[in-house]
């Protein structure tokens, strides 16, 4: 057994174990993997030696030959999975052992390498394996912490961006300051508003929520400010407005950017004078209301377009909380997955349902345009429609798309947003974008038929399948309904 470490400051304790009974193969892989993957590499000449090393080390990835004299790769894989199922195992196979390699995939191997192999291909697989193992091990830690998190109701996560906004909400919660909550759709703006209310001394009364875009202008005005009997046709009795209902509590004006300008003027009076004037009434009524507003729109652009009052904006913008999108808190995705999975398993009496590692990795890598809400809805769908006791790749038929959504006509190789990244990271991301876009289009054109798709792009069927696994694409999702 030999051991080497490269640049210990950048390894982050990642460990790869290479197993082969050919010394030249061990030397080559140790050099290539150690240099290109920024990790520690240890080697073993046999399956039996590997089992001894497992007692001393906790490797992230094991790359093992399938044919060895004392313990073959399939049996070694089984023993590794029993010891630690989070270890990603890659099987190396020569000509004539492809059937064994396929069996290894069924038994839980991440991938297989057919000798002789391309070095760049090895590096890509090892990097994917390192990411997968890190994700699985983080998952185990997060599942243990799930029941011990002391976060406001509705929030799940530990990422710095989420902690930052929660800290801001906690600091201003017990004040009367108007708060503007901004963020993309699905980031939890209403959840943040409820947390703000529940952390304040107004929590004894329920928070009033107004969905501004859902109400026509004349209805919204009477709902907000109320009206007197006879104020208009059909006003047969006096009606309290929502600002009066929220007296002593909090009112959330959800999607405030869609409020008509005429109502914005009256809303400005409420913020300035703390009083309202019901329709048909000459006198004003004092109200003690904490105003929270939310929007996913660009208010500054609406001000320039004359669609939003600048003075109202400054009245609302006393304290601004910007909810992070899921891309900014990607490390929270595993915790969110388990949180929603646990919730929906209980709701739909599917307590024994498990989620496979390839699905978990797919969810982690996918770009969630709809943020937490989209992730939640997809987990709910998977729980409802899973056939057996495990959510696996076959359930992705229920996803409308299995890849990152892209804008029509967009260029997947546009690198302008990657100029701040390192060259290698930018290059890898460009390759990923191109590959996902190319393979998605290929599968779409061939109706999800991998054999025809492979023939159409000039690749062997097994090579195409490896690419699909690498980029999290599921061929059945492209089959025409």
59 in a domain, yes or no?
A: yes
The tokens for 418 are 């990657």
If asked whether residues 225 and 274 sit together in one domain, one would say yes
CATH number at residue 36: 3.40.50.2300
Q: pLDDT for 48-80, tens place per residue?
A: 899 989 988 889 999 999 888 888 888 999 999
Out of 112, 145, 178, pick the residue that ends a domain.
145
pTM beyond cutoff 0.75: no
The tokens for 53 are 């090393």
Report whether pLDDT(428) > 80: no
12 in a domain, yes or no?
A: yes
What's the mean pLDDT in 197-217?
A: 89
Higher pLDDT pick, 113 / 322: 322
152 in a domain, yes or no?
A: no
Number of domains in the chain: 3
Residue 146, SS3?
helix
* Preceding peptide of 116 cis, ω within 30°: yes
Residue 480, SS3?
coil
The tokens for 344 are 């929906």
Task: Label residue 145 exposed, middle or buried (CB < 10 Å: 0-12, 13-18, 19+).
Answer: exposed
CATH number at residue 299: 3.40.50.300
Helix (H) or strand (E) holding 439: helix 423-445
313 in a domain, yes or no?
A: yes
Report whether pLDDT(256) > 80: yes
Confidence of residue 364 (pLDDT cuts 50, 70, 90): confident
Out of 263, 297, 322, pick the residue that ends a domain.
322
What's the mean pLDDT in 335-340?
A: 88
355 in a domain, yes or no?
A: yes
Report whether pLDDT(451) > 70: yes
Q: pLDDT for 280-294, tens place per residue?
A: 888 888 999 999 999
What's the mean pLDDT in 474-479?
A: 74
If asked whether residues 316 and 409 sit together in one domain, one would say no
What's the mean pLDDT in 11-22?
A: 83
Confidence of residue 419 (pLDDT cuts 50, 70, 90): low
Separation CA 25–CA 187 (nearest Å): 49
Give the pLDDT confidence score for residue 67 in this predicted structure: 85
The tokens for 192 are 């943040």
If asked whether residues 7 and 127 sit together in one domain, one would say yes
Out of 90, 115, 145, pick the residue that ends a domain.
145
Report whether pLDDT(193) > 90: yes
If asked whether residues 207 and 347 sit together in one domain, one would say no
User: Which ranges constitute the DSSP H helices of 97-159?
Assistant: 98-106, 119-145
If asked whether residues 110 and 130 sit together in one domain, one would say yes
Report whether pLDDT(186) > 60: yes
If asked whether residues 84 and 207 sit together in one domain, one would say no
- Percent of the chain clearing pLDDT 70 (strictly above): 87
Long-range contacts of 401-407 (CB under 8 A, 24+ apart): 401/477, 402/362, 402/472, 402/473, 402/474, 402/477, 402/478, 403/366, 403/436, 403/440, 403/471, 403/472, 403/473, 404/366, 404/367, 404/436, 405/367, 405/369, 406/437
Mean pLDDT of the chain: 83
Contact 30, 3 (CB under 8 A): no
Report whether pLDDT(9) > 50: no
Q: pLDDT for 133-155, tens place per residue?
A: 888 887 777 666 554 445 666 78
155 in a domain, yes or no?
A: no
Give the pLDDT confidence score for residue 180 in this predicted structure: 96
Give the pLDDT confidence score for residue 88 in this predicted structure: 93
For 282, other C-beta atoms within 10 Å of its C-beta total: 7
If asked whether residues 225 and 358 sit together in one domain, one would say no
151 in a domain, yes or no?
A: no
Higher pLDDT pick, 422 / 398: 422
Alpha carbon of 321 to those of 63, 79, 162, 317, 405: distances in Å?
47, 50, 11, 9, 27
* Residue-number span of the structural domain to which 48 is assigned: 3-145
If asked whether residues 184 and 307 sit together in one domain, one would say yes
- Percent of the chain clearing pLDDT 90 (strictly above): 30
150 in a domain, yes or no?
A: no
* Buried-exposed string 210-249: b where 16+ CB fall within 10 A, e elsewhere: bebeebeeeebbbbbbbbeeebeeeeeeebebbbbbbeeb
If asked whether residues 190 and 108 sit together in one domain, one would say no
Q: Give the total residue count for the chain.
A: 481
Confidence of residue 415 (pLDDT cuts 50, 70, 90): low
Separation CA 216–CA 259 (nearest Å): 9
If asked whether residues 54 and 127 sit together in one domain, one would say yes
What's the mean pLDDT in 24-28?
A: 90
CATH number at residue 341: 1.10.8.60
Strands (E), 258-417: 275-276, 285-286, 290-295, 319-322, 354-355, 390-391
Phi (first) and psi of residue 105, to 5 degrees? -60, -40
Q: Read out DSSP for 23-71?
A: HHHHHHHHHHHHHHTTSEEEEESSHHHHHHHHHH---SEEEEES--SSS
If asked whether residues 288 and 357 sit together in one domain, one would say no
Helix (H) or strand (E) holding 166: helix 160-172
Strands (E), 148-298: 179-182, 208-211, 226-227, 239-240, 250-254, 275-276, 285-286, 290-295
Pick from 169, 203, 158, 175: nearest CA to 323: 169
Confidence of residue 126 (pLDDT cuts 50, 70, 90): very high
If asked whether residues 359 and 412 sit together in one domain, one would say yes
């Amino acid at each position: 057994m030999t051991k080497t470490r490269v640049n210990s400051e950048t390894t982050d304790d990642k460990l790869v174990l290479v197993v082969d009974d050919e010394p030249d193969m061990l030397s080559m892989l140790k050099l290539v993997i150690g240099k290109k993957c920024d990790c520690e590499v240890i080697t073993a000449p046999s399956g039996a030696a590997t089992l001894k090393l497992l007692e001393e080390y906790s490797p992230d990835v094991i790359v093992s030959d399938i044919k060895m004299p004392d313990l073959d790769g399939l049996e070694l894989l089984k023993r590794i999975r029993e010891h630690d199922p989070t270890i990603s195992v890659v099987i190396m196979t020569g000509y004539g052992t492809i059937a064994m390699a396929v069996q290894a995939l069924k038994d839980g191997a991440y991938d297989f390498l057919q000798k002789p192999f391309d070095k760049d291909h090895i590096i890509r697989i090892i990097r994917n394996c390192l990411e997968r193992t890190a994700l699985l091990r983080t998952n185990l830690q997060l599942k243990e912490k799930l029941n011990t998190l002391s976060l406001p109701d509705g929030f799940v996560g530990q990422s710095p961006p989420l902690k930052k906004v929660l800290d801001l909400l906690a600091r201003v919660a017990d004040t009367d300051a108007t708060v503007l909550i901004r963020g993309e759709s699905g980031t939890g703006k209403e959840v943040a508003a409820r947390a703000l209310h529940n952390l304040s001394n107004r929590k004894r009364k329920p928070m009033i929520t107004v969905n501004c875009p859902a109400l026509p202008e004349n209805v919204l005005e009477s709902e907000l400010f109320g009206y007197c009997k006879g104020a208009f046709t059909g006003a047969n009795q006096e009606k309290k407005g929502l600002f009066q209902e929220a007296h002593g509590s909090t009112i959330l004006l959800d999607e405030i950017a869609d409020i008509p300008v005429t109502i914005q003027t009256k809303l400005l009076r409420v913020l300035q004078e703390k009083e309202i004037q019901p329709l048909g009434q000459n006198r004003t009524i004092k109200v003690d209301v904490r105003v929270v507003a939310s929007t996913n729109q660009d208010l500054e652009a609406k001000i320039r377009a004359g669609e939003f009052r600048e003075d109202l904006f400054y009245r609302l913008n006393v304290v601004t909380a910007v909810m992070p999108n899921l891309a900014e808190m990607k490390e929270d995705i595993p915790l969110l997955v388990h949180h929603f999975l646990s919730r929906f398993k209980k709701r739909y009496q599917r307590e024994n349902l498990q989620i496979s590692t390839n699905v978990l990795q797919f969810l982690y890598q996918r770009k969630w345009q709809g943020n937490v809400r989209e992730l939640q809805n997809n987990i709910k769908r998977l729980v409802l429609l899973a056939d057996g006791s495990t959510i696996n790749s076959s359930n992705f038929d229920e996803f409308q798309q299995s890849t990152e959504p892209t804008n029509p006509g967009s260029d997947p190789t546009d690198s302008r947003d990657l100029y701040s990244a390192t060259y290698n990271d930018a290059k890898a991301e460009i390759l990923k974008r191109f590959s996902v876009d190319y393979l998605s289009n290929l599968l779409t054109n061939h109706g999800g038929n991998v054999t025809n798709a492979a023939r159409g792009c000039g690749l062997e069927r097994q090579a195409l399948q490896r690419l699909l696994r690498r980029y999290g694409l599921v061929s059945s999702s492209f089959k025409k309904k």
